[in-house]
Amino acid sequence: MSESVTVRVPAKVNVFLGVGEREFNGYHDLATIFQAVSIYDEVTVTRSTEMALTVTGSYADVVPTDDTNLAWKAAELVAQACGERAAVHIEISKNIPVAGGMAGGSADAAAALLACDELWNAHIPRDQLDALAAQLGADVPFMLHGGCALGLGRGDLLSPIMTRGNFHWVFAMSTGGLSTADVFARIDELRLDDDQEIDVAVPEELMFALAQGDAKALARHMHNDLQRAAVDLKPELAEVLSYGRQSGALAAIVSGSGPTCAFLAGSESSAIDLVVALKSSGLVRDAVHAHGPVHGARVVHQ
Ligand code: ATP
């Protein structure tokens, strides 16, 4: 019986994010295309006498270490589902930007679900694990699966999407995060002055570009309805996006609810040039090259 299990889990970018009107329950209907990208957190769970959680890495100081951490909640859900006592030490090695629109908390939750299932030999069926994931948050089911997927509803009704090859991305991290709830609230306010009808459909051309592995065509159809709100709350993002475009990016969008900016590059070498340009611009906290799609949460050590 293993004493500890480590799961590696990627970040995500929303290649397309269509946001419907706010509904009575406060939620918005989404039509989104997720792509898992090669920025990884690692989550290790170890048998212990009680629950404990520690975080290391670049963003350790801003991640909660109590029962509000999504990985902690995930461990408790698995314990409940398989009749174990919730007593594990969770160690998160954090690389995914926090509150950056890259689903870092959801990624850790997916990793903890899988790690605890493995540690306790629970063998929870995949559809039940998906249901537990959806209970933890709308992005969590995708972080279990990875790859590329269409997400409808709150983003949790997933259908895998065919892609060819690798896309090269650059992610530029900002100083300070944006709260997802604040960004959704801001888009609702901004839309009060709009007279356009809201259309959340994913363009067919975008699906085709993914299937063909055609970065230039993908760049033409990438879109994020939340971008306007994120830029409104953090106006300096407009400068970051336009600097990236001028420095060779095929497309530049805010990732999810931001403030991380995602740039699609035409090749690995142009991605590396873009990282150098952004890092020396003084406009961002950091910039990294990543590729996608990559697999979702996976056990790497037990
Ligand atoms: P999304 O893209 O899903 O909207 P995000 O990437 O913008 O999310 P997260 O990094 O998931 O945001 O963090 C949002 C908040 O969640 C943080 O400010 C933090 O307080 C809380 N949180 C809970 N668990 C975690 C975790 N394991 N890692 C990071 N933040 C967490």
pLDDT (0 to 100) of residue 195: 74
* Cα distance between residue 155 and residue 30, in whole Å: 6
Query: Does the pLDDT value for residue 67 go beyond 70?
Result: yes
What is the secondary structure of 247-261 as a DSSP string? Answer: TT-SEEEE-TTSSSE
Please, which pLDDT band fits residue 275 given cuts at 50, 70 and 90? very high
In the structure encoding, which two tokens stand for residue 151, read together?
């997400």
120-to-8, 214, 291 alpha-carbon distances in Å: 18, 43, 33
Packing angle of the helix pair 126-136, 104-119 (nearest 10 deg)? 140
Query: Does the pLDDT value for residue 294 go beyond 70?
Result: yes
Q: Looking at the CA of residue 256, tell me the nearest atom of ligand 1.
A: 2
- The answer for residues whose C-beta is within 8 angstroms of residue 136's C-beta and 6 or more apart is 70, 73, 74, 77, 106, 109, 113
**Average pLDDT value for residue range 14-18:** 96
What does the pLDDT look like over 99-151, one tens digit per residue? 888 999 999 999 999 999 999 999 999 999 999 999 999 999 999 999 999 99
Q: What angle do CA 211, 214, 215 make, to 5 degrees?
A: 125
Q: Whose CA is nearest to atom 30 of ligand 1?
A: 105
Tell how far the Cα of 103 is from the centroid of ligand 1, in angstroms. Answer: 6
pLDDT (0 to 100) of residue 198: 79
**Average pLDDT value for residue range 82-109:** 93
Closest CA to 14 of 36, 46, 43, 42: 36
Using a 6 Å cutoff on CB, does residue 106 contact ligand 1?
yes
Closest CA to 48 of 79, 69, 77: 79
pTM of the full structure? 0.94
In a mutational test of the pocket of ligand 1, which residue from 13, 63, 140 has the highest number of ligand atoms less than 8 Å from its CB? 63
Q: Whose CA is nearest to atom 18 of ligand 1?
A: 99
Which residue, chain included where needed, has tokens 């174990």? 84
pLDDT (0 to 100) of residue 193: 83
Using a 6 Å cutoff on CB, does residue 104 contact ligand 1?
yes
- The answer for residues whose C-beta is within 8 angstroms of residue 68's C-beta and 6 or more apart is none
What is the secondary structure of 131-183 as a DSSP string? Answer: HHHHHH-TTHHHHHHBSEEEEEETTTEEEE----S-EEEEEEEPSS---HHHH
Tell how far the Cα of 96 is from the centroid of ligand 1, in angstroms. Answer: 10
- Residues with a catalytic annotation lie at 12, 139
β-bridge mates for residue 89, sequence order: 46, 52
Tell how far the Cα of 47 is from the centroid of ligand 1, in angstroms. Answer: 25
Using a 6 Å cutoff on CB, does residue 91 contact ligand 1?
no
Tell how far the Cα of 97 is from the centroid of ligand 1, in angstroms. Answer: 9
Tell how far the Cα of 204 is from the centroid of ligand 1, in angstroms. Answer: 31
Q: Whose CA is nearest to atom 1 of ligand 1?
A: 103
Please, which pLDDT band fits residue 1 given cuts at 50, 70 and 90? low
User: Domains (ranges, CATH) in the chain?
Assistant: 4-161 (3.30.230.10), 167-292 (3.30.70.890)
Closest CA to 170 of 277, 257, 95, 256: 277
Question: What is the signed CA dihedral for 125, 101, 299, 66, rounded to 10 degrees?
Answer: -90
pLDDT (0 to 100) of residue 113: 98
Tell how far the Cα of 2 is from the centroid of ligand 1, in angstroms. Answer: 29
Q: Whose CA is nearest to atom 13 of ligand 1?
A: 99
Other beta carbons within 10 angstroms of residue 152's beta carbon come to 16
Using a 6 Å cutoff on CB, does residue 247 contact ligand 1?
no
What does the pLDDT look like over 148-205, one tens digit per residue? 999 999 988 999 999 999 999 999 998 888 999 999 999 999 998 887 777 788 999 9
In a mutational test of the pocket of ligand 1, which residue from 73, 94, 98, 142 has the highest number of ligand atoms less than 8 Å from its CB? 98
Task: Return the sign of the alpha-carbon dihedral for residues 154, 157, 159, 160.
Answer: positive
Q: Please tell me the least confidently modeled range out of 108-112, 155-159, 243-247, 293-297.
A: 155-159
Please, which pLDDT band fits residue 24 given cuts at 50, 70 and 90? confident
Using a 6 Å cutoff on CB, does residue 42 contact ligand 1?
no
Q: Please tell me the least confidently modeled range out of 12-16, 161-165, 198-202, 284-288.
A: 198-202
173-to-166, 244, 263, 266, 294 alpha-carbon distances in Å: 22, 13, 11, 20, 20
